[in-house]
Amino acid sequence: MSGKKRGLSFDDKRARILEVFHESSDVFVLKEVEKLSVKKGVTIQSVKEVLQSLVDDDYVNQEKIGTTNFLWSFPSEKSVKLEKQLKEASARLEEAKRQKTQLAAEIDQLQTQRPDLEEAQERLAELEALREQKASKEALVARLRGSDSVVAEAVVEAIPSARDSANRWLDNANNLKDWTKRRFPGMEREIEGFFEENGLTDEVDYLD
């Protein structure tokens, strides 16, 4: 005894209805599609739903003229649509590659500039440390003055060295700022702001 015949899957129905159009390359109305689809084994109750899925996926064209919907699908139409979609996808891919290359170049440029900016931060930090050392020594001198002349004298003698070091680092910081401006023309305002943020303002002056 043979088993019950298995019905067509939804995809099988789509394929068979699409054959109706491609075998004749004619323009149909719904009733004609239903009649021809039944001959291919598709139940008439399911034709409308399956046909609508083909229309939604652009496998079948539908145009309403007056009160009648006309349906057609030519084998070459789908390939043309797929080719167009492929070209659009390829264009988007190329644009994404271009943007990626541009972004990578910008990152490389920033990484090239970064060591210079880090060096500037280090120099300014050293300058600030020297200024703090000088201030600390001057405060110490004030406390020791008159109490221990020998110690006070030693500290006083150390001040010129600290002052010279601070002035020398200020020279270096100013030279570094000028060099950075020359190397990156057009970024003078950003560079000036960077140095000001790190303490090298117009108020910073050489120590006497």
Please write down the long-range contacts of 114-119, taking CB distance under 8 Å and 24 or more positions apart. 116/180, 116/183, 117/180, 117/194, 119/176
Average pLDDT of the segment spanning 137-142? 66
Q: What tokens does 16 get?
A: 């068979």
* Weakest-pLDDT range from 17-26, 30-39, 178-187: 178-187
pLDDT category, 167, cuts 50, 70, 90? confident
pTM of the shown model: 0.38
Q: Does position 155 have pLDDT exceeding 90, yes or no?
A: no
Q: What tokens does 136 get?
A: 């600390």
d(CA 14, CA 68): 22
d(CA 102, CA 97): 9
Q: Does position 1 have pLDDT exceeding 50, yes or no?
A: no
Average pLDDT of the segment spanning 165-178? 75
pLDDT at 15: 92
d(CA 178, CA 61): 70
Average pLDDT of the segment spanning 51-68? 89
Q: Does position 117 have pLDDT exceeding 70, yes or no?
A: no
What share of the chain in percent tops pLDDT 70? 65
Average pLDDT of the segment spanning 126-142? 71
d(CA 151, CA 139): 13
